[in-house]
Structure 1
């Protein structure tokens, strides 16, 4: 049985080429990308512990993410973008500033000859699209809800036992199940963790006037504040604050919180009329230095979970996906062989390290209120805005036009 929920009434032993642990953004994208790249000839299992519906799945909750132009190009190559685009809001301009200081820089799509710098999508919308596409692909089997109870590897295959006792055999197991990855834990691949000592407060904000596709990254005394354009005259807010400020941010009534947000951000978007439910997430850099092991690969947040300061998380993860797909395609007879995984590790290491260094560096630079640091970062922002040689590296990573 393929493309449907698998139950305990099915045969206990099942043969696949690839087994993917995790069916949210990274896992679902990878399954669909592999299916498209192999023309539906690869047998793929997706094991997901949560009920795979947009309403119940925490991986497809009320949050929004920004997709860079490079990410859109990858999704288009896998015939996924056409299904997602109706739910996407284009970003026409990105404004980066340090509140109360002169430093700022602008990126504008029109000046670059582009229709959009990127797009914003709501995870709940993408979840519905992906759920439908997964069910339509006959070579993809969903084991959901199900959890991986144990993993055993031999020279030629990997065997995964599910909690309901089904055994999946495959050539390659891929962890796409987040920073607390069950597979990684069972195989003893522990992450390095750096606590940013910040919490992200996330909510949707309704405006009194059109946002015109503008996105903002503003560094405030409370922490970085990002506002991304959404449908229906809304902005997706991510406000990173210290843990000791969290109670004030979440316990305030909507009117008081909106007044604080308005005062901190200003009036570039006009009056902010309403705010939705506020949710908080602790911010830590979680990084696994090796993204492969014997017949095992790690992608997305399972490989690295970043600070949201520059919106690089999923965009970095989809480059993991694209590179892994390219390497396993070179070895269609054994998609989990050492050569494929070694090449994947070698190609992904520079991008992962540079992106993590950039995002972590921005956090520390713009969270420092020491006066020389404030002066230095504002001079840096002004220099980036006026000197193309400095602006190009920022533009390259923002657009996702990064070498893999």
Structure 2
């Protein structure tokens, strides 16, 4: 979504929508749509501003592969989303971690922890269709689509006034709580005057579907290297999802490779653990840049998902973290409304409770993702034995494995109840 002009301040005369939303969500992607679904059962007036028109999916729902932690699988099942998948998902039963040029490796096995799997792999397009099917069942949700966030209009202490444009022109929508779920370059974040801190990892990630001589057996591979990870995720269609990181200065050359040359390059970096790389689908490229909002709340406003934090995809933490943002907000609103049915969704005390509740999970996940990305990409000779020792220890020390397993399954900090609600 384009960044809005923070100085935008339209006149609201003739533009006001009659509906006062309890919660107005900007962004209909993975996290925004999930939040709308989570709020439906609370009997609130919820609005969802979506850039994509009816019948179309947001651009984020492409051929990328999403790794859902167990906590995410639990929550999305409880919300009735995963049941809408029309294509099979792939189980992650084991996680194999190694680094090119270092000895040692770590193998995490779900069976050792009394689990059938750590999580599941879902194609983003399939997930988008499942979300859309679930959204279509929500009778109270008011969807504005296609619509574009323009900026913040004059508001007061009890509501936010948000200017949008849609097929009927410009209008002002009102909300007790405005939620920014509009991605890394969040227009809402800019309009609220919330700054962000960025770190460019100088890596480009190529994503595609991969066919190998040995089909997936439930093992997810994370092969680390000086230019980032090469990961294989077991999909449900007997293919792997491949994420192959390259140095930014090499990205154009790699993008120009034909399929055979690209496969040979990825094979040389990854090795032969999954057999011979035989073919791949269409490739897409994405820069690895960390963007962290300097704060996640403002008066009657809150940032979730990539609008709050866009992190390196190593360890597949991004969407899982964003979903826990959304579910924590929904849970806090539910608790407040249970105590007082007229409770204000934008109350400062509720937003403060959200920040406190999310602090541990957010800080630990950010530190894990960023630390792993920087440490594994650093090719300094003195670090090699330390990394190898770390992999060796992780493979043999139960406490070290337990730390990785808890994070892999999405259980960091005080997670929402839906994440622990195991489905039959």
Compute the displacement of 1:13 (Å): 3.0
CA contact (8 A) 2:86 2:126 kept: no
**Which residue of structure 2 lines up, in the alignment, with residue 263 of structure 1?**
268
CA contact (8 A) 1:229 1:235 kept: yes
Q: Does 1:46 align with 2:19?
A: no
The whole-number CA distance in structure 1 between the counterparts of 2:185 and 2:370 is 20
**Which residue of structure 1 lines up, in the alignment, with residue 199 of structure 2?**
194
Compute the displacement of 1:52 (Å): 5.1
Structure 2 gap segments, 5+ residues each: 1-14, 415-424
Q: Does 1:368 align with 2:370?
A: no
Of 367-376 and 201-210, deviating more is: 201-210
**Which residue of structure 1 lines up, in the alignment, with residue 5 of structure 2?**
none
**Which residue of structure 2 lines up, in the alignment, with residue 356 of structure 1?**
366
**Which residue of structure 2 lines up, in the alignment, with residue 289 of structure 1?**
294
Q: Are the structure 2 counterparts of residues 104 and 168 from structure 1 closer, same or farther at C-alpha, using a change threshold of 3 Å?
A: same
CA contact (8 A) 2:180 2:307 kept: yes
**Which residue of structure 1 lines up, in the alignment, with residue 116 of structure 2?**
115
Q: Deviations over 1:345-383 (max 9, x none)?
A: 111122111111111111111111111101110110100
Secondary structure in 2 aligned to 1:136? coil
Give me the TM-score of the superposition, normalised by structure 2: 0.88
**Which residue of structure 1 lines up, in the alignment, with residue 32 of structure 2?**
27
Secondary structure in 1 aligned to 2:245? strand
The whole-number CA distance in structure 2 between the counterparts of 1:365 and 1:395 is 19
Compute the displacement of 1:113 (Å): 1.8
Compute the displacement of 1:221 (Å): 4.0
The whole-number CA distance in structure 2 between the counterparts of 1:266 and 1:24 is 35
The whole-number CA distance in structure 2 between the counterparts of 1:196 and 1:52 is 36
The whole-number CA distance in structure 1 between the counterparts of 2:16 and 2:138 is 20
Q: How does 1:208-247 map to 2 (within 5 A)?
A: 208-247=213-252
Compute the displacement of 1:320 (Å): 0.6
Q: Deviations over 1:315-340 (max 9, x none)?
A: 11111112111111233321111111
The whole-number CA distance in structure 2 between the counterparts of 1:12 and 1:246 is 47
Give me the TM-score of the superposition, normalised by structure 1: 0.93
**Which residue of structure 2 lines up, in the alignment, with residue 7 of structure 1?**
none
Secondary structure in 2 aligned to 1:58? coil
Q: Are the structure 2 counterparts of residues 67 and 187 from structure 1 closer, same or farther at C-alpha, using a change threshold of 3 Å?
A: same
**Which residue of structure 1 lines up, in the alignment, with residue 174 of structure 2?**
169
Compute the displacement of 1:289 (Å): 2.8
Of 116-125 and 83-92, deviating more is: 83-92
Compute the displacement of 1:49 (Å): 1.6
**Which residue of structure 2 lines up, in the alignment, with residue 384 of structure 1?**
394
Compute the displacement of 1:303 (Å): 0.3
CA contact (8 A) 2:95 2:109 kept: yes
> Which of 10, 14, 19 is the aligned partner of 1:14?
19
The whole-number CA distance in structure 2 between the counterparts of 1:338 and 1:11 is 25
Compute the displacement of 1:263 (Å): 2.0
The whole-number CA distance in structure 2 between the counterparts of 1:231 and 1:88 is 4
Of 372-381 and 12-21, deviating more is: 12-21
The whole-number CA distance in structure 1 between the counterparts of 2:55 and 2:220 is 29
The whole-number CA distance in structure 2 between the counterparts of 1:378 and 1:51 is 50
The whole-number CA distance in structure 1 between the counterparts of 2:54 and 2:79 is 22
Compute the displacement of 1:53 (Å): 4.4
Q: Are the structure 2 counterparts of residues 220 and 150 from structure 1 closer, same or farther at C-alpha, using a change threshold of 3 Å?
A: closer
> Which of 157, 160, 176 is the aligned partner of 1:158?
160
CA contact (8 A) 1:52 1:131 kept: no
**Which residue of structure 2 lines up, in the alignment, with residue 4 of structure 1?**
none
**Which residue of structure 2 lines up, in the alignment, with residue 398 of structure 1?**
408
The whole-number CA distance in structure 2 between the counterparts of 1:18 and 1:247 is 43
Structure 1 gap segments, 5+ residues each: 1-9
Compute the displacement of 1:177 (Å): 0.5
The whole-number CA distance in structure 2 between the counterparts of 1:179 and 1:255 is 33
Q: Does 1:299 align with 2:304?
A: yes
CA contact (8 A) 1:87 1:125 kept: no
Q: Deviations over 1:181-230 (max 9, x none)?
A: 11111111121111111111111111222211211000134431111011
CA contact (8 A) 1:331 1:337 kept: no
